[in-house]
């Protein structure tokens, strides 16, 4: 029983260290496209806008510019 009491804090310390260590680098690079449509849009028309300001300057999705046939 006393041996178990001595091992419990040590095992908690080792487990906490492993959990807090986590990954040391991100899984995906920041410059990679987020979905398959990004590369297609860049090759076809260049980078498409995602937001347009409305009358008051608040950002809104740029659906008209993105879906408008050119």
Residues 9-49 pLDDT 10s:
888 888 777 777 766 777 788 888 778 887 887 788 777 77
- According to DSSP, residue 16 is labeled H
- Beta-carbon-side half-sphere exposure of residue 45 (alpha carbons within 13 Å): 12
Q: Where are the domains of the chain?
A: 2-67
* Phi and psi, residue 14, nearest 5°: -65, -45
The more confidently predicted of residues 5 and 54 is: 54
> Could you tell me which residue, 59 or 34, shows the higher pLDDT?
59
Does the global pTM surpass 0.85? Answer: no
Give residue 56's pLDDT.
Answer: 94
Strands (E), the chain: 51-53, 59-61
């Amino acid at each position: 029983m006393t041996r178990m009491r001595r091992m419990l804090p040590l095992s908690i310390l080792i487990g906490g260290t492993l959990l807090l260590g986590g990954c040391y680098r991100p899984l995906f690079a920041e410059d990679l496209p987020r979905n398959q449509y990004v590369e297609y849009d860049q090759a076809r028309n260049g980078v498409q806008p995602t937001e347009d300001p409305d009358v008051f300057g608040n950002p809104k999705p740029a659906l008209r510019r993105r879906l408008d046939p050119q």
